[in-house]
Chains A and B, each alone.
Chain A
Amino acid sequence: MNTTLSQNPAAQANNSPDHATLIARMKAIVGNDNVLTSAADMAAYECDGFTIAKTKPNVVVFPTSTEHIVEIVKACNELGVGFLARGAGTSLAGGCVLVGGGVMIALARMKRILEINVRDRYAIVEPGVVNVWLTNALKPHGYHYAPDPSSQGACTIGGNVATNSGGPHTLKYGVTVNHILGVELVLPDGRVVICGGPTEDSPGYDLTGTIVGSEGTFGVVSKVWVRLTKNPEAYRTLLGVFETIDDATNTISDIIGAGIVPAALELLDKTMLSAVEAAFKFGFPLDAEAVVIMEVDGLAAGLQDEADRIEAIAKKNLAREVRKANTDPERMALWKARKQAFGTIGRLGYPSYCTQDGVVPRTKLPDIMRHILATAKKYELGICNVFHAGDGNVHPILMFDERYPDQVKRVLDASHEILAECVRLGGSVTGEHGIGVEKIDFMPLLFSPDDLHFMVRLRTAFNPHNRCSPGKMLPTSGGCSEPSNSMGRSKPGRRAAV
C-alpha cells in the first residue's frame, strides 16, 4: 500500500551522486551517529498514525541544537531538497509524511526542558520534549501544562505546536495555541527568529499564534515558551452509563446548555468499551450502548454541587447508572483507560484502523452519531467511537485490513461521507489532527478559492519555495499560484491513498 507521493527525482535516486552528497552534508553537520540512511532504519519514518500514506525520506537526521537545524535547512536549500520536522510521529493525518522525499528532521533528541519559572507561569522547552514529561516535571510545583492529547505519553510539544493539538481537557482549558507564549523558529531559508515570549502583549502581529497549527509549513520550531497552569484543587469524575447513544449525547448537550463548563466530557461506545475492558478490566458495563466520562474540576468549594447537577442531568436523560471515581487512583485508572483506548483496538480483531477527526456544533452530536453508525453499516465496516463529546469533536474509528484494497476503498469512502456530513452540519473536517496530506482535498469544501489563495500568500511570506513541509494543508487547485506537486487527484479525500 506504499504510496508514491514523490514528484521529486532526488527522492528516488538513493544511489545517485546527489544522494551521496546529501548524506555527507548531513553527517558533517550532526555526526554519523545522528543520521539514518538505510531503508530498514528509516521504515518508521515513512508515515505517522495515518498509515495509508507512506513515503521514504532520503535521510533522517537528528539535530541536537538550533544551530544544527539551521545548517540542515541551509544545506537542503543549496541541494534543492525538501525537508520536514518530525516529533514522535503520533499525528493522524499524514502530517509527518515527507511529500516528495528529502530530509526528515527528527527532533526527538532535542528534549531538554530549558527553564521552569512558576512565578511567571512559563517554561521553555525544546521541541522534542514529550508532552507528559513537562507535566511530570511540574508536579512538585503544583502546576501542569494543560494541553493533554491522548498520546501525551509519546507526542512531543513541538509536534503539538505544529498541529495545535487538543485532548480531552480542551473543553475548559483550550487547545495548544491557548498555552503557547512564544516560539523560536528556523525559517525555511535558515534564518532564526524569536516570536513572542514570556512577557505579554508584544507589539505587532501575533506570529506565534499564526505559527501554531501551521503543520510545519512556516519553518522548524526549535524552542517553545509555554504557559503553565495551576493544578485544580479538586476533581469530581463521574461515569454515566446509557442505554442509547442519543441519551448520552443529549446529556452532553444539556450539561453545556445548563451553563456548566466541565473539564472533560468523553464518550465511549459499546464496541470501544469491549476493547478497553478486555485490556484494562476497569469494570465498564459491556451491555451499555455508551458511557460518558464527565469531569468537573476547580476549587473544592461548590464543586460537589456542580457534580450533583451533572448527575441529575444524566439521570433525567435516562442514564442507567452514574458511577463516581471517588479516589485519585480510581480517577487515574479511568483516564488511563480512556487515553489508551486507541491501543486496545487491536483486540477487536482488525489489523488496521483509520481514526477520523470531525467536528460538529455540540448540539448536532446526536445527528452526526446517527450518520456515523449508518455509514459504517452501509460500507460494512467495523467501527467504534471514543471522542471529545463536549467539544463536538468526533473520532469514529474505522477498522479494516489494509491488505485488501476493497476494504481500504470502503474506509476512504466512508470517511469522506462522514466528514462531508460534519461540514454540512456546520462543522469542520479536523478538530485536532490537522489537514496533513489526508484531508487536503476537503479544504475546498470548507474554504473558497479566495480564502485558500490568501492562505497560500501567507505561506509564501514564510516559505516561498514550499520546500518546508511541502504538500501539506493547502490544495494545489483553487486558483492558487503555488509550485505544483499535484498528484492529479480526481476524488476528494483520497489523495493520500493514490
Chain B
Amino acid sequence: MDNLSIDNSAPLPVKRPASVAELTDLVKATRAAKHGVYPLGGRTTLDVGQPPIKPGIAIDITALNRVIDYPARDMTITVQAGITLAALQAELAKEGQWLPVDVALPEKATLGGALALNQSGPRRYGYGTLRDYVIGISFVTDDGVEVRAGGRVVKNVAGYDLMKLQIGAVGTLGVITQVTLKVKPKPEASVGVCFGCAIESLTDVLDRLHASRSRPIAVELLNADAWLALGFPSPAEHTDWVLAVGFEEKTATAQWQRATLQDELKSAPVPGVTDIPDASALWQAITALQLRPGSRFIGKRSVLPSKVAQELTHTPPGLVHAHALNGIIWFHGGQPSTGTVVRRCPPDQKEYLAVWGNAPSSWELMRHVKQTLDPDNVFNPGRLFGDL
C-alpha cells in the first residue's frame, strides 16, 4: 500500500477515492476511529504548515478530476477539485479563456490544493486572487456529507459565502470536492519590461510605478540571486535589484502601456529598460520559485506596499523576490524574523518556529470556527493551529 509521511509523521496510508461517495465513507470511518484526514492534491505543498498531530489517512483527490460543466458563453466552469491547474487551463484555452491566477507546478498542483493554500503569483496585482474567481464550492464535512455553497452564476448572494471560508483554510474545514469558477477571456497580448534598480532608489521607483498611467498586471521585484535562479536574460545594466513589470491586454493597449512606462521611466533613476521576451513565461518562472527545490528555507512576509523598500534594506542572504505593489515578500534563506510565515523549513525546526507568523487578533475566533465546524478535529489536525 502507498504510504506517505508529512513532516516526519508516522506513515499515513494513502487512499485514492474514485468517487465522492467513497470519499464520504472514508471520512465517516476515519472520524469514527478518532483519526485524522489529511487531504492530498498534487503533493506540491505538503511541507507548508505545522506537523500532523494525529494518526490517520491521507486522501488523494486526484481521481476526482472531471470537468462537470463548461458553459463557455457564460464564462463559468464547474470542475472537480482534483483537476490539475494545467488541465483546467487547457480546457479553458479551447475557448480562448483562462483562470488568471498563477500557481506553481501547474502540471501537478490541483485546484483543491491551490484553494486550500490560497496560491497566487505575480499576476495577483492585476487580477486578484482565487477568492475573486470561486463562485461555488462543494466539500465533504466532518459528518461525511458533501455540502455545497454558492452556485453557478457570477452574481449570487444566497446563503453564506463558504467559498471564502474554504480558501486558505489549509484543508482544516473539509475536503473540497467540486468548484465553480468565473473565468476571463485570455488577453490578446502579454508583454513586459525589466530594469535594474539600486536599493536607495527603490522607494522612488515603486512610487512611480504605482502612479504610472499604465496599468500593470504584475510588478515583481527580485534580488540578483533570484533573477539568476530564473535563468532569464538579465536587464541591460545589472544592479542588486531587478524590477519586472507586465501588461496584458489587447495588443495595441499592451504596447501603448509598455511605451508609456518606458517614457515615464526616462526621468527615473534606473539605468536601462529592456523588453522581456516572453513575459507570461517569466511570471510562471517567478511563481515556481515558491517551490524552488534548492531552497531549504522559504518564508513569506506581508507589509504595506509603501513599506516594501524599507523592509528590504536588511535582507538575509539568499533569494528575495516580492510582489512589490501587493506588499508580499518571499525570502529564501537566513533566520526567519518575527511575523514571517514559514512556507518551508526542516521539519525539526517547526517545533520552535511560529510557522504561520504572527497570529492575527482574530486567531481565537478562527479556532472557535474550527472547533464548531470540526469538533472532533478530523481535518488536517494540527496543521494550521498546532494543537487543533
Contacts and interface: CB of A to CB of B under 8 A. Distances in A.
B74 A363 contact: yes
A426 B155 contact: no
Given A207-B362, A299-B257, A426-B153, A458 B71 contact: no
B159 A391 contact: no
Contact of A261 (B184, B256, B369, B384): B184
B151 A201 contact: no
B145 A450 contact: yes
A356 to B, nearest CB: 13
Contact of A359 (B118, B149, B155, B364): B155
B250 A302 contact: yes
B366 A205 contact: yes
A259 interface: yes
A18 to B, nearest CB: 31
Interface in B69-113: 71, 73-76, 96-97
A474 to B, nearest CB: 8
Contacts of A200: 302, 326-328
B362 A204 contact: yes
Contact of A388 (B146, B155, B364): B155
Nearest to A218: B160
Contacts of B266: none
Contact of B164 (A199, A209, A298, A473): A209
B361 A194 contact: yes
Contact of B156 (A197, A257, A431): A431
A210 B128 contact: no
Interface string A282-324: 0000000000000000110111011000000000000000000
B155 A207 contact: no
Interface size for chain B: under 10, 10 to 19, 20 to 34, or 35 or more residues? 35 or more
Interface stretch (B60-68, B217-225, B279-287, B303-311): B303-311
Given A119-B207, A306-B250, A206 B165 contact: yes
B356 interface: yes
Contacts of B306: 119-120
A210 B362 CA distance: 13
A454 B141 CA distance: 8
B321 interface: no
B341 A203 contact: yes
B277 interface: no
Interface string A157-193: 0000001101000100011011000000001000001
B77 to A, nearest CB: 12
Interface in B19-56: none
A230 B152 CA distance: 29
Contacts of B372: 457-458, 460-461
- From A194, A204, A391, A427, name the one whose CB has the most chain B CB atoms within 10 angstroms: A204
B302 A451 contact: no
Nearest to A439: B158
Contacts of B252: 301-302, 305
Interface in B180-223: 184-186, 207, 210, 213-215
Nearest to B163: A209
Contacts of B384: 204
A210 B256 contact: no
A379 interface: no
A209 B131 CA distance: 8
Contacts of B96: 259
Given A193-B362, A206-B165, A363-B74, A201 B256 contact: no
A340 B250 CA distance: 34
Contact of B373 (A121, A193, A207, A461): A461
B305 A203 contact: no
A446 B151 contact: yes
Contacts of B249: 299, 302
A457 B141 CA distance: 11
Nearest to A459: B160
A447 interface: yes
A83 B143 CA distance: 32
B157 A430 contact: yes
A193 B253 CA distance: 44
A474 B269 CA distance: 58
Contacts of B253: 298-299, 301-303
Contacts of A305: 250, 252
A434 interface: yes
B303 A299 contact: no
A259 to B, nearest CB: 4
A325 interface: no
A256 interface: yes
B250 A204 contact: no
A361 interface: yes
A392 B167 contact: no
A124 interface: no
Contact of A434 (B157, B185, B368): B157
A238 interface: no
B341 to A, nearest CB: 6
A435 B158 contact: yes
B215 A454 contact: no
A120 B164 CA distance: 23
A429 to B, nearest CB: 6
Interface of A: 117, 119-121, 163-164, 166, 170, 174-175, 177-178, 187, 193-210, 212-214, 230, 233, 253, 256-257, 259-261, 298-299, 301-303, 305-306, 359-363, 388, 391-393, 426-435, 439, 442-443, 446-448, 450-455, 457-462, 473-474
Given A201-B328, A209-B165, 7 more contacts: A200-B327, A201-B341, A210-B160, A299-B256, A426-B151, A426-B153, A457-B372
27 contacts: A117-B304, A119-B207, A174-B128, A174-B132, A193-B364, A201-B118, A201-B302, A203-B360, A205-B169, A212-B161, A213-B160, A230-B215, A298-B215, A301-B252, A301-B257, A303-B253, A362-B74, A363-B73, A428-B155, A439-B158, A450-B146, A452-B159, A454-B147, A454-B162, A458-B369, A458-B373, A461-B372
Interface of B: 71, 73-76, 96-97, 118, 128, 131-132, 141, 143, 145-149, 151-165, 167-169, 173, 184-186, 207, 210, 213-215, 249-250, 252-253, 256-257, 300, 302-306, 326-328, 341, 356-357, 359-366, 368-369, 372-373, 384
Q: What 8 pairs between A and B have smallest CB-CB spacing?
A: A209-B164, A259-B185, A301-B256, A302-B253, A461-B372, A431-B155, A428-B156, A199-B302
